[in-house]
Structure 1
Amino acid sequence: MGSRGVRAAAAQQAIEGVRELAGAGLTAEAVFRQADELLREVLEYDAVCWHTADPATGLVNSVLSDDLSLDSFEDAVRLEVWADDPATFPKIRRSGVRAEALSRATEGRPERAVRYREQIVPAGFGDELRAVFDAHGGMWGCAAFMRAADRGHFLGRQRELADTAARHLGNALRSCHLPPDGGAVDRTGGDAGPAVVVLGASNRLVGVSGPAEDLLARLADPSRTSLGLPTAFAMAAEQARRTACGLPVPQSKIRVQADDGRWYVLHASPLQGSAAGEVTVVAAAAGPADAMPLYLSAYGLTAREQEVALLLVRGCDTRDVSRLLAMKPYTVQDHLKSVFAKAGVASRRELIARIMLGGGH
């Protein structure tokens, strides 16, 4: 077998390994670490930065990297939100592909990108390959792979391989966001109410109130950063600053899941009367309107199946669903069978109980 055949065989083996991560019952951090072991050699990268994301908006809400210095992570957050660069995560997602190299997106002139000049080159890298991990309508995470400057740009075959791997990683991360044990979220500690955090202009912690210290610990990133607080809070603050400038944002809130399976929603707004660019971030347990669609998507339901399931939760019967969604009754039944199978339940009552448990109510 020639070198090309060896590479193809290694790539196929890596993809099979990534595909199997979806059924392994892993945490998101474990998915990333195992994916790194499988992909590093075949994608030929020298460093990687992994992120989970709010599946509804695609906004990054955590960071994991054993390769990169995160001593100036506030600069990375700023560039992620403000820099209108080629091959950003949102642009890749809108393009219809799952992976893109900065060198390819800039037609061989990566120096056109701010993050190339301010981050990639100073760190000793020559190219970046980004991938978004979409599955069933949600973006569950993303990653940036870096190559040393002396190794040249990422090749087309590596971009294609990353694109294939990204699809399976989307499914793996989606399965990570199911409620533990299919719906039994641990609530022994309860929620003490909204947590309030004040961040300075560089998104460093200025002050906290309410149960914020406990929540900051439970939402902490897998990797320590210069921010000293979870990435989700800094991203929420930067989105609020964009909104205050009249610039478009995906949404004014960010969702993030704690390791106990509960979803939290972060709302941010500039602090009135502050000349120092301070932002207040309020974090609270997600209510049904925010949490239930996320759990339904995590179960792998299609958009139509989610519509059916949500109507059931609201008390509709088959006839109501048929009328409201303009479906034949037997079509509704077919959707219900698929919903039950994907959620691992046998009845409407069990489905409603599982969704309501997962949503925190």
Structure 2
Amino acid sequence: MSRGLTAERVRKDVDVVARAGLDLETFLEEAMASLRRAVPWESACVATHDPGTHLLTSGRKYGALAGESEHDHEFALIEYGDVEATAFTELVRTETDAAGVHLVHGGEVERSPRMERFMVPRFGIGDEARVAFRDGREMWGAAALFRGPDDRPFDAEEIDFLASLTGMFARGVRAGVLTRMADVVAPAPGPGPAVIIVGPDDRATQMTPTAEQWLGELAGSPTHPDPVSPVAALIASARRYARGELPSPPRCRLRTAGGMWLVLQAGPLSTFRDREGDVVITIEEARPPEIVALVVAAFGLTPRERDVTQLVLQGVDTKEIASTLHLSAYTVQDHLKSVFDKAGVRSRRELISRVYFDQYVPRMGGELAPSGWFA
């Protein structure tokens, strides 16, 4: 079969599984297996990202790297601690759908700090190609494909093909996020702050019992099998923030094995006595405003549909929405119909329920803590 015909069949296969409403694990396994037929790889890593902050939220490995986790912490520190053309954050900033290290650096892959300091010495990688999962507004994840030192580098045609899949992968990951919203939410860990202190060597030196419990919850999640990488990404980003390279402290949203959404935030600590270079990471249950934006983004709405949805969630009626957005009532109804179709609901009430999902609804009317949040 010709290369072009294989590529076209793979593109159709990936599109089909992206639209099938599969859970995240199944979608990624099937899509990566199909992709390998058109763009052969020796090993591959797939990461998901918080679309609002672009920080790593999970990682999976396939092929020769499957099961390897010893160096995940080191990888995340390099990935988020350095700035280079093919880093995840740069793919977002430059709106790049796909890139090959060999092509970007004119055949000198060691010009990439990630390749020179990590991929080549640790795993003997010869070349790496990356494809971002972008839907035009947010980046939901990315895949990195690797070839050995004796394999041919990824060529321009293969990179262009990878770029053509960016929206399909984004759609599949978005659908994977939505499939878990009906999961039963497990009780949160015990009371008390969830805090992790990280020393100058980028390793945790102290943590509260509640933080340890939350990390255990994340470690048991099929969508976040290894919480080490997201934590290391936060550490590296916090150090960049301390150097003035980032405008705000890093944060990301993760979901536990029990279905609870969390917000992880990191920041540098001020020098105190003999302590210098420490980073603090906090973990807390996500409040509805933290999750609504992510859920709505996962529906794949147009900007105008998002505007309409935002007002619906505020309880605004059709007439007021039309007036606020300078639209006719008929146009608002058309937008609502499209929103309902994409969200898989039939009414405003179902839409609101779909967004403010089970994490919060079963606990309404329950005991409140002194903070004003659920105890």
How high is the TM-score relative to the length of structure 1? 0.88
Matched, 1:93 2:92: yes
Moved more, 342-351 or 60-69: 60-69
- Cα contact 1:64–1:222 (8 A) shared by 2: no
- Cα contact 1:129–1:159 (8 A) shared by 2: yes
Q: Work out which of the residue numbers 37, 46, 56 in structure 2 matches 1:50.
A: 46
- Cα contact 1:205–1:229 (8 A) shared by 2: no
**Inter-partner Cα distance in structure 1 for 2:297 and 2:358:** 12
Q: Work out which of the residue numbers 244, 247, 254 in structure 2 matches 1:246.
A: 244
- Cα displacement (A) at 1:188: 4.3
**Inter-partner Cα distance in structure 1 for 2:9 and 2:59:** 27
**Inter-partner Cα distance in structure 1 for 2:224 and 2:324:** 48
- Cα displacement (A) at 1:216: 1.0
Q: 1:262 to 1:112 in 2, by over 3 A?
A: same
Q: Please give the per-residue CA displacement for 1:63-97, whole angstroms capped at 9, x wherever unaligned.
A: 21243344233321122112221222222233333
- Cα contact 2:77–2:235 (8 A) shared by 1: no
Q: Which residue of 1 aligns with 2:324?
A: 324
Q: Please give the per-residue CA displacement for 1:157-209, whole angstroms capped at 9, x wherever unaligned.
A: 211221123321111111011153xx534234246455222233343332222
Q: Which residue of 1 aligns with 2:290?
A: 290
Q: Please give the per-residue CA displacement for 1:121-176, whole angstroms capped at 9, x wherever unaligned.
A: 22212211011112362211111111111122211221122112332111111101
- Cα displacement (A) at 1:22: 2.1
1:12 alignment partner AA: E
Q: 1:223 to 1:175 in 2, by over 3 A?
A: closer
**Inter-partner Cα distance in structure 2 for 1:49 and 1:340:** 34
Matched, 1:21 2:14: no
Q: Which residue of 1 aligns with 2:116?
A: 117
- Cα contact 1:63–1:222 (8 A) shared by 2: no
- Cα contact 2:24–2:175 (8 A) shared by 1: no
Q: Please give the residue correspondences for 1:171-182 in structure 2 after superposition, counting only pairs within 5 Å.
A: 171-178=171-178, 180=180
**Inter-partner Cα distance in structure 2 for 1:12 and 1:296:** 31
**Inter-partner Cα distance in structure 2 for 1:293 and 1:165:** 25
- Cα displacement (A) at 1:291: 0.3
Gaps spanning 5+ residues in structure 2: where? Answer: 362-375
Q: Which residue of 2 aligns with 1:10?
A: 6
Q: 1:337 to 1:191 in 2, by over 3 A?
A: farther
Q: 1:78 to 1:108 in 2, by over 3 A?
A: same
- Cα displacement (A) at 1:359: 6.7
- Cα displacement (A) at 1:223: 10
Q: Please give the residue correspondences for 1:33-48 in structure 2 after superposition, counting only pairs within 5 Å.
A: 33-48=29-44
- Cα contact 1:40–1:46 (8 A) shared by 2: no
- Cα contact 2:76–2:230 (8 A) shared by 1: no
Q: Please give the residue correspondences for 1:204-215 in structure 2 after superposition, counting only pairs within 5 Å.
A: 204-215=203-214
Aligned residues: 353
**Inter-partner Cα distance in structure 2 for 1:358 and 1:328:** 34
- Cα displacement (A) at 1:34: 2.1
**Inter-partner Cα distance in structure 2 for 1:156 and 1:251:** 37
**Inter-partner Cα distance in structure 2 for 1:229 and 1:276:** 25
Moved more, 143-152 or 188-197: 188-197
Q: Which residue of 2 aligns with 1:195?
A: 194
Q: 1:49 to 1:222 in 2, by over 3 A?
A: farther
Q: Please give the residue correspondences for 1:1-361 in structure 2 after superposition, counting only pairs within 5 Å.
A: 5-66=1-62, 67-68=64-65, 69-122=68-121, 123-135=123-135, 137-178=137-178, 180=180, 183-190=181-188, 192=190, 194-220=193-219, 229-248=227-246, 252-272=250-270, 273=272, 275=275, 277-357=277-357, 360-361=360-361
- Cα displacement (A) at 1:309: 0.9
1:9 alignment partner AA: L
2:236 alignment partner AA: E
Q: 1:55 to 1:258 in 2, by over 3 A?
A: farther
Q: Using the aligned pairs only, state the percent identity.
A: 31
SS of the residue 1:345 aligns to: coil
Q: Which residue of 1 aligns with 2:364?
A: none
- Cα contact 1:178–1:261 (8 A) shared by 2: no
SS of the residue 1:306 aligns to: helix
Moved more, 130-139 or 147-156: 130-139
**Inter-partner Cα distance in structure 1 for 2:287 and 2:34:** 37
SS of the residue 1:349 aligns to: helix
**Inter-partner Cα distance in structure 1 for 2:250 and 2:120:** 32
Cα RMSD after superposing both structures: 2.6
SS of the residue 1:107 aligns to: coil
**Inter-partner Cα distance in structure 2 for 1:42 and 1:64:** 20
- Cα contact 2:24–2:223 (8 A) shared by 1: no
SS of the residue 1:62 aligns to: strand
